[in-house]
Amino acid sequence: MDATTMTSQNRPFSIKLWPPSQNTRQVLVERMINNLSTESIFTQKYGILNKEDAEDNAKYIEEKAFLTADQHHENEPDGDGGSAVQLYARECSKLLLQVLKGGSIKKDKENHIVSNETFFDISKGKRAFIEAEEVEKLLKPLQEPGNSYSKICFSNRSFGLEAAQVADPILASLKSQLKEVDLSDLVAGRSEAEALKVMNIFSEALEGSVLKSLNLSNNALGEKGVRAFGALLKSQSQLEELYLMNDGISEEAARAICELIPSTEKLKILHFHNNMTGDEGAVAISEVVKRSPLLEDFRCSSTRVGAEGGVALSEALATCTHLKKLDLRDNMFGVEGGIALSKTLSNHAYMTEVYLSYINMENEGAVAIANTLKESAPLLEVLDMAGNDITAEAAPALAACISSMKHLSKLNLSENELKDEGTIQIANALEGHSKLTEVDMSTNLIRRAGARLLAQIVVQKPGFKLLNINGNYISDEGIDEVKDIFKKTPDLLGPLDENDPEGEDADADDDDDNDNEEGGEDEDELGSKLKNLEVDEAD
């Protein structure tokens, strides 16, 4: 049916397709009862229900589908309801098939239908304020007797005080069954006073729950916000995952976190990205890390941590021998922090991903870490050391490290100064790596010889996906050679629009100043010489 129909006077009027009439809903229920309780190709395959079970299931399916479609329509109030009708029909079909496959929807002791869904999520759609009336309607499934929801996500909807007060008793009634709670981006656009009251309401409602995962990211917490969630944090002793990203965690807030969380002995994931923690805050977070011997995934990136905090975090990580993924990007550890980290990593045999870009560790720190990883991380799949002022001087250590990593799939050494000399050594180290999929050597002062050899080696990899050598000093002839190498698989070569062939001359002049008295070699001869350079894994 069209949303607009013409009258006899040729004046358009609008027909709203949503919500359906009660009679339409009842007809659909009766149709589903018939589908569930009579012989058909589907019931022959999955089994048939008796009339009573078919009626219970049909009513549940229709109500569930209606609530989902009605929520969708609430987010598009100016529409004619056509998309809500389509969603309503799809949800009914999907749930009907689930019932046929599963036999029937379960009931509790009081004979109430029990939802077998475990994840409740209101984060879809536009980021917006949520009002009390909408909360009451949205959270209706959480009030169904005997529901099985153990994971909730309230992210992306900003709760005011009245909306939080509606949610309060509903959450309190669920807290004994909840295992995963996502309250990220909960109070966007609210005043500080109102936001803190909302946080406090959610905190007290969920106090005493036994959670495995808690996400409080994107709430601009600061110390006040952390303490507003104090009741909830204090009651958690079984947490396995904690996310505190983009929360304005200052030194004082970091200390509050350390104080409020009673135990992190079971913690496996701690993400602490994009805060303003600094060195003193990092020292406080390092205490949390020390108490987390089972930690497998630690992210403390973009947190303004310098050498002092870097050393404290590195030493704390020594207790986390189960660590698999480490992300310390975009801090200022410096050489001192890099060396401290290298000592810690010697005890981490399970590492699969290491992200250490833009931490200012220079050659000395990079060599120390490379030497450690070569001996202690045989399972490493991702190595990221971009933007660390690493030169060709560190290339032998890096090449030996890379050569030992037979599981390596992604390598990022972009924004360093490896030049052709270092690049060719790295390229040779990659030759036997069959699992390699991505290499980023952009912005490394690379010229024709280094680019050509790197391209020749990676293009042969069976599952290779992307080579990025943009932003270098490759001559026009070198660009043509690289493109020719990838002529059968051009999508595996990244863009070259920022390459500067003119920069090659200036770089070559610098190299000429360092040539021996008998004269320097051109780049082709240099490539030929270094291609045969052997990497000794025993170094």
**292: pLDDT strictly greater than 50:** yes
**313: pLDDT strictly greater than 90:** yes
Q: Is there a single domain that holds both residue 96 and residue 152?
A: no
- Would you say residue 139 lies in a domain? yes
Q: Is there a single domain that holds both residue 177 and residue 86?
A: no
Q: Is there a single domain that holds both residue 97 and residue 122?
A: no
- What CATH number should be reported for the domain holding residue 132? 3.80.10.10
> Does residue 247 contact residue 270 with C-beta atoms inside 8 Å?
no
Q: Is there a single domain that holds both residue 97 and residue 125?
A: no
Model confidence at 528, in pLDDT bands (50, 70, 90)? Answer: very low
Q: Tell me the C-alpha distance between 145 and 143, whole Å.
A: 6
Q: pLDDT (tens digit, 9 = 90+) per residue, 350-375? A: 999 999 999 999 999 999 999 999 99
Q: Is there a single domain that holds both residue 141 and residue 217?
A: yes
- What CATH number should be reported for the domain holding residue 90? 1.10.246.200
Q: For residue 90, what are the domain limits?
A: 22-75+82-102
Q: Is there a single domain that holds both residue 123 and residue 187?
A: yes
Query: What does the pLDDT read at residue 51?
Result: 78
Of residues 159, 102, 172, the one with CA closest to residue 127: 159
Residue-by-residue DSSP string for 345-392: GGG-TT--EEE-TTS--HHHHHHHHHHHHHHH-TT--EEE--SS--BG
Q: pLDDT (tens digit, 9 = 90+) per residue, 408-457? A: 999 999 999 999 999 999 999 999 899 999 999 999 999 999 999 999 99
Q: Tell me the C-alpha distance between 524 and 539, whole Å.
A: 28
Helix, strand, coil abundance in the chain, percent, nearest 5? 45, 10, 45
**524: pLDDT strictly greater than 90:** no
Residue-by-residue DSSP string for 105-166: --B-TT--B-----EEE---S--EEE-HHHHHHHTGGGGSTT----EEE-TTEEE-HHHHHH
Query: What does the pLDDT read at residue 98?
Result: 74
> Does residue 313 contact residue 284 with C-beta atoms inside 8 Å?
no
Tally of domains within the chain: 2
Last residue of a domain, one of 238, 261, 284: 261
- Would you say residue 13 lies in a domain? no
**513: pLDDT strictly greater than 60:** no
Q: Which of 120-124, 170-174, 299-303 has the lowest mean pLDDT?
A: 120-124
Residue carrying structure tokens 């100064």: 417
> Does residue 395 contact residue 367 with C-beta atoms inside 8 Å?
no
Q: pLDDT (tens digit, 9 = 90+) per residue, 144-157? A: 888 889 999 999 99
Q: Is there a single domain that holds both residue 142 and residue 90?
A: no
Query: What does the pLDDT read at residue 520?
Result: 39
- Would you say residue 253 lies in a domain? yes
SS3 for 182-215 is ECCCCCCCCCHHHHHHHHHHHHHHHCCCCCCEEE
For residues 64-92, give the mean pLDDT: 79
Query: Which amino acid is located at 427 in the chain?
Result: A
For residues 324-328, give the mean pLDDT: 98
Mean pLDDT of the chain: 87
Q: Is there a single domain that holds both residue 88 and residue 154?
A: no
- Would you say residue 40 lies in a domain? yes
Q: Is there a single domain that holds both residue 122 and residue 245?
A: yes
**516: pLDDT strictly greater than 90:** no
Q: Is there a single domain that holds both residue 122 and residue 90?
A: no
Q: Tell me the C-alpha distance between 286 and 372, whole Å.
A: 22
- Would you say residue 402 lies in a domain? no
For residues 200-210, give the mean pLDDT: 97
Q: Tell me the C-alpha distance between 257 and 267, whole Å.
A: 14
Last residue of a domain, one of 228, 261, 294: 261
Model confidence at 43, in pLDDT bands (50, 70, 90)? Answer: low
- Would you say residue 473 lies in a domain? no
> Does residue 227 contact residue 260 with C-beta atoms inside 8 Å?
yes
425: phi > 0 → left, psi -120 to 50 → alpha, else beta; which? alpha
Q: What are residue 411's DSSP bridge partners? A: 383, 439
Model confidence at 517, in pLDDT bands (50, 70, 90)? Answer: very low
Beta strands in 216-276 (DSSP E): 241-243, 269-271
- Would you say residue 296 lies in a domain? no
Model confidence at 46, in pLDDT bands (50, 70, 90)? Answer: low
Q: Tell me the C-alpha distance between 408 and 430, whole Å.
A: 9
Query: What does the pLDDT read at residue 509?
Result: 44
Last residue of a domain, one of 218, 242, 261: 261
For residues 471-477, give the mean pLDDT: 97
Query: What does the pLDDT read at residue 412?
Result: 98
Q: Tell me the C-alpha distance between 207 and 126, whole Å.
A: 29
**79: pLDDT strictly greater than 80:** no
Q: What are phi and psi of 47, to 5 degrees?
A: 110, 155
Of residues 291, 358, 344, 282, the one with CA closest to residue 313: 282
Token pair, residue 135, equals: 């909360």
Query: What does the pLDDT read at residue 419?
Result: 98
Q: Is there a single domain that holds both residue 231 and residue 255?
A: yes
- Would you say residue 29 lies in a domain? yes
Query: What does the pLDDT read at residue 276?
Result: 93
Q: Tell me the C-alpha distance between 92 and 66, whole Å.
A: 9
Q: Is there a single domain that holds both residue 93 and residue 131?
A: no
> Does residue 229 contact residue 221 with C-beta atoms inside 8 Å?
yes
